[in-house]
Chains A and B, each alone.
Chain A
Amino acid sequence: MEEVLEILQGIKPDVDFAEEKALIDDGILDSFDIISIVNGLNDAFDIEITVAELLPEHFNDAEAIWRLVQDMKENG
C-alpha cells in the first residue's frame, strides 16, 4: 500500500491520496494522470493493467488501486 501511495504522490504531489475517495468521480485525476499511474504501477509491481481494468471503481481511491494491484498479481 505504501508503494502505491508513493507512486500516486509522485504523480500528483498536491493531492492527499490517503483521504480522497473519489479521485475519478470528482475529476481529481485526468486521463494523463491515469496513464502515468498505470505505467508506474506496471513497472513497480511487474503487472500489466489493461484497458478493461480502467473502471472508476478501480481508481477512485488508493485502497481500490491497491486492491486492483493485488488482484492483478494473483490472477494476472
Chain B
Amino acid sequence: MNLLSLSFFCFLLMLLACYYLMPHRYRWIVLLAGSYLFYAASSLRSVPLLLFTTVWTYAAARKLGAYNRVIREELKQIDKSLRKEKKEAINRKKKRIVAVTLVVNVSVLFFFKTSYLWKEAPLLLPLGISFYTFQTIGYLIDVYRAQIEPEQNLLHYALFASYFPQIIQGPIHRYRQLVPQLFGERRFSLREIKLGFWLFLWGMFKKIVISERAAIFVSHVLGSDLQETPGAMLLLGVFVFNLQLYTDFSGGIDMVSGISQMFGITLAENFRRPFFARTLGEYWHRWHITLGTWIKDYVFYPIAMSRTFGRLGKKAKDRFGNHIGRTLPAGITSVITFILIGLWHDVTGYYFLYGIWHGMLMALSNLCEPLFQRFRTCFQVRTECLSYRWMQRLRTFMIVTVGEYFSLATGMAALGIMFRQTLLHFEYSSLFLGILNYGLDGKDWLVLAAGVLVLVCISMKQESGVRIREALERQNLYFQWLMVLGVILVTAVFGVYGPGYDASAFIYGGF
C-alpha cells in the first residue's frame, strides 16, 4: 500500500479511530487486523509465508520455553550429580529445535534472495521477509537463551511479528522492547499524534525532495557508458548515492516511526546521523542500528566467544602478546560478520567485497590501535580539537564511499572501470562542464543543495543535543503551523514523484 496515497491516509485515520475508540484491552486486536490488512494490501501473495514463519517460530519457542521451565524448576529437585547430565540432554534437544528452525527460516530467505541466480524470471521477494525473519529469529534465540519467556498467545505473537509500521524495512525489534508497548495501556494523546505527524512529514521530505531527486542523478551516472564517464563524475555519483541511500532509508524509518508514534508506540532508533561518525566502528553504531545490534548479538558474539576462537585467542596471546590475543578473534569474527552482511544485501561477488572491505578495516583498526596510539603520541596529535574531529568524519565518509563502489558495481568489469576512471581519469573540470548532463537541471541541483543544507543544519542541531520537535513545540502555534504547512508545500512543489510509488518502493524494502 502506498504510504503517500489517499487510501493509506484513509486506512490510517480509520485505524487510529478504531484503536482509540476501542477499550484498552482490545486495542491490540485493532493493530493486528490493521497490520494484516496493510500487509495483504501491499503484497497479498506474501501473506502465507508470513503466517508460516509466525506459526513455526511461535511453536518452536513454546517448546523451548517448556524445556527452560524443566531446567529451572524440575531439575532443581533432583540430585546434583544427575542434574548436570539431565541439563545437558535437555540443552541438546533445545539446540536441535533452534537449529531446525534456523535452517528452515534462513533457507526460505536464501531461496528467495538467490532465485535470480537459478531462475530466468526471478521470484519476487516477499515483502519485508528479511525483517520479520530477523525479528522472529531474534525472539527464538532469546527464548533459547532463557532471556525471555515465550509468548503464550499466538495472536499476540502474530502482532509482534507483523506490526505494520515496521514490517517493510524495520527497525528490527526485540521482543522485550516492542511487546510491552503493543499490549500496554495507552491514553489518547493529541500531542503524540502531532509529534508523530511531524516526524512523518520530515521523513517524507527526506524521501521525496532529497532521495528521489538524488536517485535521478545516480541512475544517470551509473547508467552512462562508464568507460567515458570522468572519474570525478563517478565519485560525485557515489557521494550522491550515499545521500540517496541515507535519506531513502532513514526517511522511510522516520515515516513509519511517526505513524507508530500516533498509536503511542515508540519504534527503536535506527539511525543516529551516521555521517557524523568519527570512526568506521562508530559509523556502524549509527547506521541501521537495529540490524547492527541484531548481528552483534546473534552472529558476532556466538562466533567470537566460541571455543575455537577462544583457543585461537590464547594461542595468539602466547605468540604475539596480550593485545593481539585479545583483538585477533574479534577481528576475524568482524570480517566474517561483515561478509555475511554483504551477502545478505546481495549474493554476488561485489557485495562479498563490500563485506571484506568493511570487515577488514574494522579488524585492522582494532589490531593496529597501539600503533596508531604511538603515532599520535609521537607526533603530539590533538584528538579532541575541531579540525581533527572533522578530519576523522571526512575520513570515515570516504571509507564508506569507497565501500559503496562495491555495492553499486554491476559486475567485476564495471567495478574495475569505476575504480580506473576515478583514479586515472578524474577530470575534475567535468564537474563544472558536464554536471547538467546527468538528469538534473540547475533548478534540481539548487533544490537538492537546499534540501541537504536543511538536513545538515538539523543534524548538527541534533548532534549538539537539541530535540527538534520539542524545540518546535515551544514556539508559537502560528509558527508551528507555518513550519508544517511549509514542509507540506515544499514537498508538494519540489518533490519527485516517480512511478511505482508504494510502500515497497524504499530501497531497503527490497532486501
Residues of A in contact with B (beta carbons under 8 Å apart): 10-11, 27, 30-32, 34-36, 38-40, 42, 49-52, 54-55
Beta-carbon contact of A39 and B313 below 8 Å: yes
Beta-carbon contact of B327 and A31 below 8 Å: no
Q: Which of B281, B301, B313, B331 has the most CB of A within 10 A?
A: B301
The segment out of B49-57, B207-215, B302-310, B470-478 that lies at the interface is B302-310
Residues of B in contact with A (beta carbons under 8 Å apart): 145-147, 281, 285, 296-297, 300-302, 304-305, 310, 313, 322, 325-327, 329-331, 333-334, 366
Residues of chain A lying within 8 A (CB to CB) of residue B333? 35
Beta-carbon contact of B330 and A36 below 8 Å: yes
Residues of chain B lying within 8 A (CB to CB) of residue A39? 310, 313, 325-326, 329
With A35-B326, A36-B326 in contact, is A55–B147 under 8 Å at CB? yes
Beta-carbon contact of A51 and B326 below 8 Å: no
Residues of chain A lying within 8 A (CB to CB) of residue B301? 31, 34-35, 51, 54
Q: Which of B146, B281, B330, B334 has the most CB of A within 10 A?
A: B330
Residues of chain B lying within 8 A (CB to CB) of residue A50? 305
Residues of chain A lying within 8 A (CB to CB) of residue B146? 52
Point out the residue from A11, A36, A40, A52 that lies within 8 Å of B147, measured CB to CB.
Answer: A52
Residues of chain B lying within 8 A (CB to CB) of residue A52? 145-147
Point out the residue from B147, B302, B305, B331 that lies within 8 Å of A38, measured CB to CB.
Answer: B305
Secondary structure type dominating chain A contacts:
helix
- In the assembled complex, the CB of A46 is this many whole angstroms from the nearest CB of chain B, namely 13
List 9 A-B pairs, minimum CB-CB distance, nearest first: A52-B145, A36-B326, A35-B330, A32-B330, A35-B304, A51-B301, A32-B366, A51-B302, A31-B296
Tell me, in angstroms, the Cα distance from A10 to B147 when the chains sit together. Answer: 30
Residues of chain A lying within 8 A (CB to CB) of residue B281? 30, 32
- In the assembled complex, the CB of A52 is this many whole angstroms from the nearest CB of chain B, namely 4
Residues of chain A lying within 8 A (CB to CB) of residue B322? 10
Report how many A-B pairs have Cβ atoms within 8 Å. 49
Residues of chain B lying within 8 A (CB to CB) of residue A27? 285
Beta-carbon contact of A35 and B145 below 8 Å: no
Beta-carbon contact of A11 and B326 below 8 Å: yes
Residues of chain A lying within 8 A (CB to CB) of residue B327? 32, 36
10 further contact pairs, Cβ within 8 A, besides A32-B330, A42-B310: A10-B322, A11-B326, A31-B296, A31-B300, A31-B301, A35-B330, A39-B325, A49-B305, A52-B146, A54-B301
Tell me, in angstroms, the Cα distance from A27 to B302 when the chains sit together. Answer: 20
With A27-B285, A30-B281 in contact, is A35–B305 under 8 Å at CB? yes
- In the assembled complex, the CB of A43 is this many whole angstroms from the nearest CB of chain B, namely 8
Tell me, in angstroms, the Cα distance from A49 to B304 when the chains sit together. Answer: 12
- In the assembled complex, the CB of B441 is this many whole angstroms from the nearest CB of chain A, namely 43
Chain A's closest residue to B145 (CB) is A52
Residues of chain A lying within 8 A (CB to CB) of residue B147? 52, 55
Tell me, in angstroms, the Cα distance from A51 to B297 when the chains sit together. Answer: 8
What would 22 A/B residue contacts be, using CB atoms closer than 8 Å?
A27-B285, A30-B285, A31-B304, A31-B330, A32-B281, A32-B327, A32-B334, A32-B366, A35-B301, A35-B305, A35-B326, A35-B329, A35-B330, A36-B330, A38-B305, A39-B313, A39-B326, A50-B305, A51-B301, A51-B305, A54-B305, A55-B147
Tell me, in angstroms, the Cα distance from A38 to B301 when the chains sit together. Answer: 11
Residues of chain B lying within 8 A (CB to CB) of residue A35? 301, 304-305, 326, 329-330, 333
- In the assembled complex, the CB of B261 is this many whole angstroms from the nearest CB of chain A, namely 22
Tell me, in angstroms, the Cα distance from A31 to B327 when the chains sit together. Answer: 10
- In the assembled complex, the CB of A47 is this many whole angstroms from the nearest CB of chain B, namely 12
Tell me, in angstroms, the Cα distance from A38 to B244 when the chains sit together. Answer: 40
- In the assembled complex, the CB of B160 is this many whole angstroms from the nearest CB of chain A, namely 20
- In the assembled complex, the CB of A45 is this many whole angstroms from the nearest CB of chain B, namely 15
Tell me, in angstroms, the Cα distance from A52 to B148 when the chains sit together. Answer: 11
Tell me, in angstroms, the Cα distance from A30 to B146 when the chains sit together. Answer: 24
Tell me, in angstroms, the Cα distance from A38 to B147 when the chains sit together. Answer: 19
Residues of chain B lying within 8 A (CB to CB) of residue A38? 305
Chain A's closest residue to B142 (CB) is A52
Residues of chain B lying within 8 A (CB to CB) of residue A34? 301
Residues of chain A lying within 8 A (CB to CB) of residue B302? 51
Residues of chain B lying within 8 A (CB to CB) of residue A36? 326-327, 330
Chain B's closest residue to A42 (CB) is B310
Residues of chain A lying within 8 A (CB to CB) of residue B331? 32
Residues of chain A lying within 8 A (CB to CB) of residue B297? 51, 54
Tell me, in angstroms, the Cα distance from A39 to B327 when the chains sit together. Answer: 10
Tell me, in angstroms, the Cα distance from A4 to B146 when the chains sit together. Answer: 26
